[in-house]
């Protein structure tokens, strides 16, 4: 059995962990150097030192990419979590100065929520926090717990059911649904009843969900609609129905915005559904991060249309 000698941490430059974290994110020395505000030779030298200290190549060139080794992949999560914890420990209790901050915060959401949230938020940040950087990533059907735990994401904004106990949920807004069809649709004249609704051919925008409220209600009534196209993009769905005889169920605020831009008619659902909730979610232990707390307050303040 091989004996593994423990590393002498007194001789280990912890700044190397920041370099390794960024190299694993970017898998490219030049991009990592740019994001770290270092020169490319400095990052290359740091990688060489890491390889020597850890006795592993860590990243291996494959074509134009540098692919992590199994050892690097095993280190990625713990290193990122440790760096995030250090950052939070050092910033806890510090006053956040939005006018001066250059923090970068990453949020996962759907294009629907982005359309409702980001225009007023960015207009506000333009004067309140002009150097704050917001990176948006697409929200998948399930809560991205791993990305939140690793620190790859700071918060998510969307519709969620059960959450693990380590997360905090804050209500952002409540939404209802409307049915949208193209103007002068041959099957929909003045009103939309349930029979016509079921006869229509539907686009389903899954919006980060594995099953929609409409289909759940229909299943409970032993009914089913004809879905012929699915997409994660609300904007694309609105343009598709404007050019076809398909229909789509959209959140009310978004449907009203689209109806102002496209030749669409909007109708109430031919059955009653309760409003659904959109929540702001983040790891509970991060509530003491002043930048995250400040941004959360700004998002919650623009909740209502």
Domain boundary pick from 57, 91, 125 = 91
Q: Which domain holds residue 267?
A: 177-274
Structure tokens at 189: 């004249």
Residue 2 lies in a domain: no
Give yes or no for a contact between 59 and 21, defined as CB atoms under 8 angstroms apart.
no
* Whether residues 159 and 293 fall in one domain: yes
The secondary structure of residue 27, as a DSSP letter, is S
Structure tokens at 76: 């990625």
Residues 270 and 204 in one domain: yes
- Domain endpoint, select from 40, 60, 91: 91
Contacts of 174 (CB under 8 A, 6+ apart): 275, 276, 277, 278
Residue 288 lies in a domain: yes
My answer on whether 162 and 288 are in the same domain is yes
Same structural domain for residues 55 and 80?
yes
Domain of residue 203, CATH code: 3.40.190.10
Domain count of the chain? 3
In a domain, 167, yes or no: yes
Alpha-carbon gap, residue 180 to 268, rounded angstroms: 9
Same domain, 120 and 142: yes
* Residue 205 located in a structural domain: yes
Give, for all 305 residues of the chain, the pLDDT tens digit: 343 445 555 566 778 888 988 888 888 888 888 888 888 999 899 899 989 888 899 989 887 788 899 998 888 888 887 887 777 666 555 567 999 988 899 999 988 899 999 999 999 999 999 999 999 998 887 788 888 888 889 999 998 888 888 899 999 999 999 999 999 999 998 899 999 999 999 999 986 566 789 999 999 999 999 999 999 889 899 999 999 999 999 999 999 999 999 999 999 999 999 999 999 999 888 888 889 999 999 999 987 55
Considering the domain architecture, whether residues 163 and 284 belong to the same structural domain is answered as yes
């Amino acid at each position: 059995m091989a004996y593994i000698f423990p590393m002498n941490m007194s001789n280990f430059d912890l700044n190397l962990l920041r370099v390794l974290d960024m190299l694993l994110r970017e898998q490219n020395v030049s991009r990592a150097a740019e994001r770290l505000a270092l020169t490319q030779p400095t990052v290359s030298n740091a990688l060489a030192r890491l390889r020597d200290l850890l006795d592993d190549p860590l990243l291996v060139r494959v074509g134009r990419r540098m692919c992590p080794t199994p050892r690097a992949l095993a280190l990625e999560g713990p290193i990122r979590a440790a760096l995030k914890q250090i950052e939070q420990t050092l910033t806890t209790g510090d006053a956040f100065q939005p006018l001066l901050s250059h923090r970068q915060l990453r949020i996962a959401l759907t294009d629907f929520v982005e359309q409702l949230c980001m225009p007023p938020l960015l207009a506000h940040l333009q004067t309140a926090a002009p150097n704050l950087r917001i990176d948006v990533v697409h929200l998948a059907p399930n809560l991205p717990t791993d990305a939140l735990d690793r620190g790859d994401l700071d918060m998510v904004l969307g519709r969620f059911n059960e959450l693990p106990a380590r997360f905090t949920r804050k209500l952002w807004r409540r939404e209802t649904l409307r049915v949208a069809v193209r103007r002068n649709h041959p099957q929909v004249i003045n009103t939309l009843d349930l029979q016509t609704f079921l006869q229509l051919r539907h686009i389903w925008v899954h919006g980060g969900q594995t099953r929609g409220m409409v289909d759940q209600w229909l299943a409970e009534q032993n009914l089913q609609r004809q879905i012929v196209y699915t997409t994660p993009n609300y904007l694309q769905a609105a343009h598709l129905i404007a050019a076809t005889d398909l229909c789509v169920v959209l959140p009310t605020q978004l449907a009203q915005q689209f109806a102002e831009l496209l030749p669409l008619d909007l109708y109430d659902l031919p059955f009653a559904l309760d409003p659904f909730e959109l929540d702001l979610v983040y790891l509970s232990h991060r509530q003491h991060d002043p930048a995250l707390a400040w941004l959360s307050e700004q998002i919650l303040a623009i909740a209502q249309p």
